[in-house]
Amino acid sequence: MIDPTFAGLLNRPAGFTDRPLLWDDITQAWTSECEIADLSLKLASRLEHGEKRLAFILATNSKATLVGFLALVAAGHAVALIDPGLPEDRLAHLLACYQPDILLGSAPLSSLASTIAGNWVCSDPTVDVPATAIRQGGNEPARLHPDLGLLLLTSGTTGGAKFVRLSWKALVTNARQIAHSLAITSESVGVGHLPFHYSYGLSVVTSHLIAGARVALMIDSLTSESFWAKVKASEGTHFAGVPFHYTVLARLGFDMVPSTVNMFTQAGGGLDARIQAMVLAKVEASQSRFCVMYGQTEAAPRIACLPSELLLDKRGSVGVAMPASAISICGQDGAALPVGQTGHVVYEGPNVMLGYADSRTDLALGDLMKGRLETGDLGWMDEDGFLYLSGRVARFAKIAGLRLSLDDIETQLSLLGSIACVDLGEQIAVVFEGEIPEDAKAQAKTLALASKIPPTSFLVRRLAELPRKSNGKIDYALVKAALDV
């Protein structure tokens, strides 16, 4: 039996046709709706089981990953999207914590599967379908909640084993919300260059699929000489990026963007006003659009959107709530605050997560959030309901669109000495007490590369003594104030 979510994502009420659906960087050719559906359903038949199982996909921007993802959806399983570039020890930790029943990837998986108890049946990958490893026996891990659909890691790639638990309903709902907010049509072509395992990158794919649009998956990075040639070859219309991408574009020049691109979207943190002005100039000159969006993985992931036509009137805003949703500003007591007053940003909508997971047993839990998400961000709203962000409550930083835990970074580097990490916007200050250890900069660079952020994102500094509160905890506000940056 095919799970209805499959039909929900591939929204083709009149059935599948020979119309092109997917352009991929490997074949550099289009694959039709019929072929994608056929490949996915054939793989789904191999993955079927009497009950919902947990699958890990080592996700790349490829046809095989999309087919594997859709196959697991059709088979009714829960899917965790995993960065294949994770350090071996981090991946091993995730496997031990969650004991997946199915593994999918772009390379043979027998050695990876052998770390989990059971008898595994493995197959090799092709251009069209991923390698698979299916557990046939062994100790049965904890069962999964019927509503569980998608698992996405939070806290960037430096955190522990915490996943965001999402239902398929939340994912499909948000895909529809995004498609509506961006006016995606069947003529649109999403440029899928953001990582498939990243919530923003996944949302580009799902919002286009659900609108009957096409998707061009790119392995190339934005700085590659061939990137924009491939965007032109695939007739890409919708370019999505984080502040880092627009900073690169501003440096390289917007003239390299082909005329096929008529929509730019930006999320993943605040964009420098000077660069935003350059994007607006490009948009006006080419009669295209530029939408600012705000979201979190916990909301599957989009929360708000600022339409292109209001960018100047509402400069600095991240927009209004997704359709059929609401944003409020609350005080410490949870009571709503009046217009213009800064407080905690709270989002309510059908795309809110079920909750978090730290281990396999947590995957049996149901909906703990009840559609309400305390974002951990601070902000205010104007009289028209437009949201303006002013900071973050929790100890997280957003670098190149990735949400990174400052506490986890401290843990990673704590063996070097007493340390404090503070958010400087598009940089994280790594502050040592006393002298800077000899290999501190080298280790910070290694951590940056593992976290998929530029090495310059870490600013290594020292203070003779780290300021502390009366309870002995580090006073991060005073640390930041003491830095000469």
pLDDT in tens, 119-128: 999 999 999 9
Picking from 372, 388, 404, the residue at the C-terminal end of a domain is: 388
- pLDDT, position 167: 98
- pLDDT, position 118: 86
Mean pLDDT in residue range 378-398: 89
Counting every residue written for the chain, the total comes to 485
Structure tokens at 6: 């499959």
Mean pLDDT in residue range 365-388: 96
Torsion of CA 46, 51, 55, 61, to 10 degrees: 60
- pLDDT, position 156: 43
Higher pLDDT among residues 484 and 142, named by residue: 142
371 and 472 housed in the same domain = no
Structure tokens at 245: 């991408």
- pLDDT, position 408: 78
- pLDDT, position 171: 98
What would the pLDDT profile of 423-437 be if each residue is shown by its tens digit?
998 899 999 989 999
What would the pLDDT profile of 46-59 be if each residue is shown by its tens digit?
999 889 999 999 99
Higher pLDDT among residues 14 and 299, named by residue: 299
Any idea what the CATH number is for the domain that residue 109 is in? 3.40.50.12780
- pLDDT, position 158: 42
**Whole-number Å distance between alpha carbons of 166 and 298:** 8
Q: 3-state class of 114 per DSSP?
A: coil
DSSP state of 395: S
What would the pLDDT profile of 269-311 be if each residue is shown by its tens digit?
778 777 888 898 989 999 999 999 999 999 999 999 999 999 9
Picking from 388, 416, 432, the residue at the C-terminal end of a domain is: 388
Residue range of the domain that includes 105: 4-388
410 and 365 housed in the same domain = no
What would the pLDDT profile of 183-232 be if each residue is shown by its tens digit?
999 999 999 999 999 999 999 999 999 999 999 999 998 988 899 999 99
383 and 292 housed in the same domain = yes
Higher pLDDT among residues 78 and 117, named by residue: 78
Percent of the chain with pLDDT over 90: 72
Range of lowest pLDDT (150-159, 366-375, 459-468): 150-159
DSSP state of 319: B
Provide the domain count of the chain: 2
Residue 348: how many other CB atoms lie within 10 Å: 15
Across all residues in the chain, what is the average pLDDT?
A: 92
**Whole-number Å distance between alpha carbons of 380 and 249:** 30
**Is residue 375 scored above 70 in pLDDT?**
yes
**For residue 301, is the peptide bond before it cis, meaning its omega torsion is within 30 degrees of 0?**
yes
412 and 382 housed in the same domain = no
What would the pLDDT profile of 60-83 be if each residue is shown by its tens digit?
999 999 999 999 999 999 999 999
Higher pLDDT among residues 203 and 416, named by residue: 203
- pLDDT, position 74: 97
Mean pLDDT in residue range 123-142: 90
Percent of the chain with pLDDT over 70: 97
221 and 144 housed in the same domain = yes
Mean pLDDT in residue range 449-470: 86
Structure tokens at 202: 């996944």
Closest C-alpha to 424, from 456, 452, 389, 471: 456
Residue 223 and residue 245 in contact, taking contact as beta carbons nearer than 8 Å? no
- pLDDT, position 485: 66
Q: What are phi and psi of 196, to 5 degrees?
A: -60, -30
What would the pLDDT profile of 29-46 be if each residue is shown by its tens digit?
999 999 999 999 999 999
188 and 266 housed in the same domain = yes
DSSP 437-480: PTTHHHHHHHHHHHTTS-GGGEEEEEESS--B-TTS-B-HHHHH
**Is residue 346 scored above 90 in pLDDT?**
yes
**Is residue 470 scored above 80 in pLDDT?**
no
352 and 419 housed in the same domain = no
- How distant is the alpha carbon of residue 1 from its chain centre? 30
- pLDDT, position 99: 95
277 and 401 housed in the same domain = no
193 and 316 housed in the same domain = yes
Residue 410: how many other CB atoms lie within 10 Å: 18
- pLDDT, position 305: 98
Picking from 334, 369, 388, the residue at the C-terminal end of a domain is: 388
445 and 429 housed in the same domain = yes
Structure tokens at 114: 């052998």
Specify the DSSP element, H or E, that contains 281. helix 273-286
413 and 441 housed in the same domain = yes
380 and 450 housed in the same domain = no
Any idea what the CATH number is for the domain that residue 411 is in? 3.30.300.30
Residue 473 half-sphere exposure, CB side, CA atoms within 13 Å?
5
Residue 110 and residue 122 in contact, taking contact as beta carbons nearer than 8 Å? yes
- pLDDT, position 244: 82
**For residue 243, is the peptide bond before it cis, meaning its omega torsion is within 30 degrees of 0?**
no
